């Protein structure tokens, strides 16, 4: 199906067979998306393209035999997100603001969730800002570990990050927590399909109700979760107590990112820093990536989605 990809794409994708396969599956159901994808791919650095291919390799294992459905679900998800964008720009707020609303409208609707989760999985390959923070995670979070580490992830979803943490020769123990048993079952199935070799302990935990942590961790990851919480500072406060004294936490949170189940709006990097530092953490590095690699200043001004990836330690 190589003829569906336009020329600039073909060149970039030459050494990236799995990325190419994911893109071809999407263009087969959504040919008009080619220009968007070309722009998204053209903006990536070589390191980002390598991260793209790593994600695509995992994604293909997860979607094997199901490619056309997943591609159609990606298109459907983008349509839902466009509806939320319209509301967000009209009203300057997210449509829902409580967990109960998100539960009633999104989480409890299994058919809706199945499509949405498939759609979001492909964004790990297709969206510039998602790949960019993933590349940060691989190379400057996991890649910066020099000692054996105990890993905790909250809200693992598709499991890609736990999978790569497990693949690191330095990971000593791996845990993932999620409030949803359904989501954890999917993470377990995904880890299985990707062929994770180390044991990963999966536990049903509501991060907002977690008491005292029994264990301490060297590396804690919370990616695309804070915006789903009514009180994100409470989650961060708990996680701070779960860090070893010299442990690090990686937070990935999108700004101005309307989505059916996003209830906590962050609009600027300063708000993120204030949130994180307000609980006794110190931000070491923050990287900001706008949708489609748009210029940061203009993206923030126009309330276009920007992903914020940061590493923090106990202050």
Partner 1 sequence: MSSAEILNELREIMIDVFDVDDLEVTPATTAEDVEEWDSLSHVRLVVAVERKFKIKFKNSEIEALKSVGDLVNLIEAKTAA
Ligand X SMILES: C[S@@+](CC[C@H](N)C(=O)[O-])C[C@H]1O[C@@H](n2cnc3c(N)ncnc32)[C@H](O)[C@@H]1O
Q: Which residues bind partner 1 (CB under 8 A)?
A: 35-36, 39, 78, 82-83, 85-86, 89-90, 291-292, 295, 298, 302, 304
Work out how close the CB of 41 gets to partner 1 at its nearest, in angstroms, rounded to a whole number: 14
- Cα–Cα distance between 124 and 137 in angstroms, integer? 13
x/- map, 186-215, ligand X, by CB under 6 A: --------------------xxx-------
Question: Judged by CB under 6 A, which of 142, 179, 200, 236 binds ligand X?
Answer: 179
x/- map, 216-235, ligand X, by CB under 6 A: -------xxx--xx------
> For residues 103 and 296, which CB has a smaller minimum distance to ligand X in the complex?
103
The verdict on 122 binding ligand X (CB under 6 A) reads no
Q: Which does 178 bind (CB under 5 to 8 A by kind): partner 1, ligand X, none?
A: ligand X
List, as own/partner pairs, every contact residues 269-275 make where C-beta atoms lie below 8 angstroms and the sequence separation is at least 24, other chains included: 269/300, 269/306, 269/308, 272/308, 272/310, 273/310, 275/226, 275/232, 275/233, 275/236
> For residues 81 and 190, which CB has a smaller minimum distance to partner 1 in the complex?
81
Work out how close the CB of 31 gets to ligand X at its nearest, in angstroms, rounded to a whole number: 27
The verdict on 260 binding ligand X (CB under 6 A) reads no
Work out how close the CB of 3 gets to partner 1 at its nearest, in angstroms, rounded to a whole number: 20
Work out how close the CB of 121 gets to ligand X at its nearest, in angstroms, rounded to a whole number: 8
Choices 164-172, 177-185, 192-200, 296-304 (CB under 6 A): range interacting with ligand X: 177-185
Work out how close the CB of 300 gets to partner 1 at its nearest, in angstroms, rounded to a whole number: 12
Q: Which does 90 bind (CB under 5 to 8 A by kind): ligand X, partner 1, none?
A: partner 1
For ligand X, which residue has the nearest CB? Answer: 157
CB contact at 8 A, 51 and 136: no
Count of residues engaged in binding ligand X, rule: CB under 6 A: 17
> For residues 183 and 305, which CB has a smaller minimum distance to partner 1 in the complex?
305
> For residues 156 and 247, which CB has a smaller minimum distance to ligand X in the complex?
156
Q: Which does 250 bind (CB under 5 to 8 A by kind): ligand X, partner 1, none?
A: none
For binding to ligand X (CB under 6 A), which residues are involved?
154-157, 177-180, 183, 206-208, 223-225, 228-229
């Amino acid at each position: 199906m190589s003829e569906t990809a336009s020329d600039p794409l073909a060149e970039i994708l030459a050494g990236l067979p799995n990325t190419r396969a994911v893109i071809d599956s999407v263009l087969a159901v959504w040919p008009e998306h080619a220009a968007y994808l070309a722009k998204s791919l053209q903006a990536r650095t070589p390191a980002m393209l390598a991260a793209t291919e790593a994600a695509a390799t995992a994604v293909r294992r997860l979607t094997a035999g199901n490619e056309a459905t997943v591609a159609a679900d990606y298109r459907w998800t983008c349509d839902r997100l466009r509806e939320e964008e319209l509301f967000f720009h009209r009203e300057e707020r997210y449509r829902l603001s409580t967990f109960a609303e998100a539960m009633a409208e999104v989480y409890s609707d299994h058919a809706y969730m199945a499509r949405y989760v498939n759609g979001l999985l492909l964004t790990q390959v297709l969206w510039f800002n998602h790949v960019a923070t993933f590349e940060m995670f691989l190379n400057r979070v996991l890649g910066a570990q020099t000692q054996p580490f105990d890993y905790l992830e909250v809200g693992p979803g598709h499991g890609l990050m736990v999978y790569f943490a497990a693949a690191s020769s330095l990971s000593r123990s791996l845990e993932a927590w999620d409030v949803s048993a359904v989501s954890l079952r999917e993470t377990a199935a995904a880890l299985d399909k990707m062929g994770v070799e180390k044991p990963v302990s999966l536990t049903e935990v509501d991060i907002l109700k977690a008491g005292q942590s029994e264990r301490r961790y060297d590396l804690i990851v919370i990616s695309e979760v804070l915006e789903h919480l009514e009180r994100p500072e409470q989650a961060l406060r708990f996680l701070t107590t779960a860090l070893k004294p010299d442990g690090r936490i990686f937070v990935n949170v999108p700004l101005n990112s309307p989505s059916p189940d996003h209830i906590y709006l962050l609009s600027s990097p300063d708000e993120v820093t204030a949130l994180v530092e307000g609980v006794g953490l110190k931000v070491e590095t923050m990287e900001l990536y706008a949708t489609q690699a748009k210029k940061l200043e203009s993206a923030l001004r126009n309330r276009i989605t920007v992903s914020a990836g940061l590493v923090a330690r106990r202050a």
